[in-house]
Structures are given as C-alpha cells and as structure tokens.
Structure 1
Amino acid sequence: MKTIALANQKGGVGKTTTAASLGIGLARKGRRVLLIDADAQGNLTQILGWSQPDELSPTLADLMEKIITDQPVVLGEGILQHRDGVHLLPANIELSATEVTLVNTISRETVLRQYLSTVKGKYDYAIIDCMPSLGMLTINALTAADSVIIPVQAHYLPAKGLEQLLKTVARVKRQLNPRLEVEGILLTMVDSRTTLAKGIGELLRNTYGSRVFASEIPRSIRAAEISVENKSIFEHDPGGKVAQAYANLTKEVLNCGKQREKHSVDQVR
C-alpha cells in the first residue's frame, strides 16, 4: 500500500478537493483506495456526502485513541464505503482532542502509521487529507506517508510557506521517516488568463523543476460546486476542464509509482 499525504499549512488551497478527486480518480483506474480525513473540521468527510461528521462514530480519533491505549483495532472498523468506489475513514471535532493527547503520548509521531499497518493489505493507496497546520497530526501523517503532495494556489506568491513546509518534510524524513519523498507540488486554482498565475507557475517550475506536477488544476466554479452537490468532479462535470485536470494528475501519480518501482528494481540489480 502506498500512502500519500496532502499537506499545506495554508487553508483554502484545494487540498480537500484534490484528496477526494485523486482518490476517486485512482479508484476509477481499478485501485483500492482508502481516504483518511485527518482534519478536525471534517471537510473531506462532508465533501464525500456525510454532512454531519460530528454524529459519526467511530472516527479517526477513536481509532488513534485505541492505538494510544493499546486496544485492538478491528479490520474495517469505522471505514465508510462511498458510491464512487473509495473507502473513507472520517473525522470530526473529536480529532482536536486527539491532537492535544498526542503531545504526551509515547512514540507520538507514529500513531497513525501504526493504525495504517492494520489495513495495508486491503488497499493499494491510502490518501491522507491533513489539516492546514504543521501540528502533531500533520507530523503523524508525514511519518506514516511514503510521499507528500503539496497543493499550492497560483494566485499569490506561495514561496515562503512552501519553503517552511519543505523544511518540515525534510526534517521528518531525516528524523522519523527515511522513505518520505515529495510526490509533487500541485498548482491549483490556476487562472490561465492572468499574468500573475503564469508568472508563479514559471517561478515554481524554475525553482523546483520536476517536483512540480505537469498537471495544473484550473480555477472553476464547477470545482467549488462539488462540496455542495456531494458528487465527485468526474460525476458533476465529466467533460469539464477540472475533471480532465484531475484525470491527468491521477495518471501522473500512477506513473510516479511505476518509475519509483523501476528505480528500486534497477538499484537491486
């Protein structure tokens, strides 16, 4: 199972929409996908159709509490099935208390990784939607992940916050998770008509090169509508430019995996 964290300490960058759309895109390609809502606001849970996350139980908070207190986790416990073929481990406001609890927990950075070890045989991909902060839950997600996708808005200069996040990723890789890689930086909400968006895209590509995905997610009211409609972008606007952009991103993620597998085989040889 490959685990991908979607992280950016700034909110409103399209992170949750990307988590849902990438997960469903991978499921449409025949992959078994678990989406994990790691944000106490429960935005991923809501965007997938569970409009009252605070009424759900068990959630990610409950399962992490079981890991912390050495209670057994039942396979499939708390996981919801979505009509688009993905599974969801939901979150709600109780996750805020988990963040506080983790501060005084032994091996506090590895609790989510321990949970994922209980389901890894069941899925091809686990995608974690992180909260917009660099707190303990995001550190847990990075410690559990094989790679991180960083969505970045194209209509303001994101370099400073991006550098801070990349430093955090490097620190987690050095101290907690040697296998962690940057899957890619994803430009979102791109208005190709503006000089600013083009300039930021060029700046990021010049600075980070192949770390920036070729796919760019355009600004579109269709993308905003899916959180209200409770439909994936592929169902809501299947012929639209946002659906095509997420289909292209899905292909890039699948190809990244193939390239890394090939690289690992070549190294063994």
Structure 2
Amino acid sequence: MLQTVYYEQPLNERVRALLRLEFLFQQVNHAMRGNSAWDSRMALQGLFDILALTGRNEFKGDLLKELDRHASTLSRLRQTPGVDGPTLDGVLGKIEEVVNRIHGSDNQLQEAVRQTDFLSAAHKRSHVPGGSCQFDVPALYHWLQSSHCVRAEHLRGWLTPFGPMQDAVTLILQLIRESAEPRPEIAIHGFFQRGLDSGAPHQLIRVSVLVGRSCFPEISAGRHRFTIHFLDQPDPNSRAVRSVADIPFELACCAI
C-alpha cells in the first residue's frame, strides 16, 4: 500500500496554536519512551515550550469555547437526514467528557509546575546556545544522572496537570481533520490555487502527497484564497526550486 504524508496550513491563530501544542505533546511523549539522558533533555525542552504556549490565563477558556462551538455545530446535525445518530451521540459524549476534564483541571497544579525552581533555572538557561551543559546548570546535570525510572516519574508528574489540555487539543484537531474528505487534485506545473468561501468556518488546509517524492508543497493562505507551490529539493544542500511537473495530490479544506 502506498504511503502518504500530510502537510497542513492553519487558517487562524487558534488552530495554529493547537497544531503547535499537538507537535510538542508528541515530542514529549516520544522522548519519554527513550531511556537516555538525551531523551529526557528533549522531553524537558518540549515541556518548556508547552509552558510557554499555555501561559496565557485565557488559554483554558479558549479551549472550552472551541469545544462548545464544535458541540453546537454537531448538535445541529441531529435533524439532518442520513446522519448516524449513535455515532453523533458518541462524538458529543467525548466532547462533554473532555469539557468536564478541562473544568476539573487544577490551575494551581499547572502554576506549581511553572514555579518549580529546578524547571525555572533549566528553562532560563535553555534559551542560551549550549546553555544547559553541565557547568551552566549543575542541578540539571545531577538530575540527568538519575535512573530512567526516576526521571520518567518526575516528567510524568510535571506533565499530568496538562493531561486534560492535551486531550482537548487532540479531540479538537481530530474533529477539524475529519470535517472534510480528501479529494484528488493536480497542481499544473507545480502550481495550484483555489478560492475560499469567507462565510464558511474554514480552519485548516490539508495536502497529502506520496512518500518518496522529491517535491513538497508550500502553502500560503489568506481569507479568500489559498495557493500551493510544489518545490523540488532532492538534496537539502541545494536550494528548493518550483517544480515544473504536474503533481497529483489530495486536498481537504476543513471547515467546521
């Protein structure tokens, strides 16, 4: 079976933040499966970035508003002919469950993680190139000498207060991605452009291409249209140039 890879372009700041958070949670979860001190360093760096992205007081409220918006949109589908009622009820149940978890999350626990002296010291030095080596942050170096089990336990403890947030990010992006079916398209001489209905709640552009191609899509989007340029770069040491070939791909304009 041919494998495909997805390239995504967010169409508003909220989805942009969600995609970045999804990436960071994936980075941390992947790093925590490793046993080495380098894996723990990667997990910590992801945690620092999560703390930075979620530091706004209104971020929790933004997630709840987005979940409520999706619940309202989906609830209106109940009277639509042909809609699978049990499946719709299941999705609405998941949304309600995640909303309850967000409401039940303890902001004080999240703030306690932010105020941990060890994390604060390591985070400050992480902004300096090479600033987290052993002589810069001896406390970090000491912690990295601990066993994998000890480091993993600490990391899980720091991440646990952000679990409901991760669940919300995952569910919202799943609903957005599943709101549109991919359709086959062709970029003539590596170029494709299409208009967007400004009255529709477009959230995300998704482009899928076959794995192994030497080209990749560069997507730019505005309020009324989006453009895709396919660029050839078989060697990263060479500058990417616009493809002159007709490129088949699949496109999904996600709106919900």
TM-score (norm 1): 0.27
TM-score (norm 2): 0.28
Structure exhibiting the larger radius of gyration computed from Cα positions: 2
